Amino acid sequence: MDPDANLRAGDPERNAALDRLGRYFADGYLDIQEFDERTRRAAAAQTRGELAQLFVDLPVVPGVAASSELVAEAGAQGELDEVVRRNRRVQAIDGVIWSVTMITFFLGLFVLNWNYFWVVFPLAAFTSWGVRAVFRLDPEEEKVAKELAEKEKKERAERLRHAADKRTELGR
């Protein structure tokens, strides 16, 4: 018995199972009724064991991930989602830190005539570093999150371009 069978299944696991069922259906291993039944069960599954039961009578096919691979993939996807979430928080806090820094710098320089107005920059850099330490976001994770955000931005722009082309094509 799989020790993970009683663990709760989340959206990443259910989505991976639905993708896998779709590949089995496309390859002819499932007919339409079986596919419909299994996708309903996959969407309603609450544990990883329930998801694994959907594949016990299906052969291992190259290109179709096994249940253990799906769990590992879903875990990696969940970890990536967590890194992206932490990166977004860090970026938002950084925006506030550096906005306050610039306001303080210009107030100190021009309004209050501080002699040490420049000290706000090292303080802001230290604070920004501290935020990354608190959120446990290392430079490699930050780089991956940035690359993913850029990729999503490009994909969105492409979808919008495609939609605009379709709208033009339809004469709207």
Would you tell me how many other CB atoms lie within 10 Å of the CB of residue 158? 10
Q: Clarify whether residues 99 and 161 are in a common domain.
A: yes
Answer whether residue 114 is part of any domain: yes
Q: Note down pLDDT in tens along the chain; length 172 residues.
A: 456 677 888 888 888 888 888 888 888 888 889 989 998 998 898 988 888 888 888 887 655 555 556 556 656 677 778 888 899 999 999 999 999 999 999 998 888 888 888 899 999 999 999 999 999 988 998 998 889 889 888 988 888 888 888 888 877 5
User: In sequence order, which residues have a C-beta less than 8 Å from that of residue 58 and are 6 or more positions away?
Assistant: 24, 29, 30
- Please indicate, yes or no, whether residues 98 and 151 belong to a single structural domain of this protein: yes
Backbone angles phi and psi of 64, in degrees to 5: -115, 115
Taking the model in full, what pTM does it have? 0.51
Instruction: Confirm if 139 and 83 have CB atoms less than 8 A apart.
Output: no
Q: What is the pLDDT of residue 134?
A: 93
The domain total for the chain is: 2
User: Which range of residues forms the domain containing residue 31?
Assistant: 11-65
Q: Which residues pair with 8 in a beta bridge?
A: 47
Say how many C-beta atoms besides its own lie within 10 A of residue 43's C-beta: 12
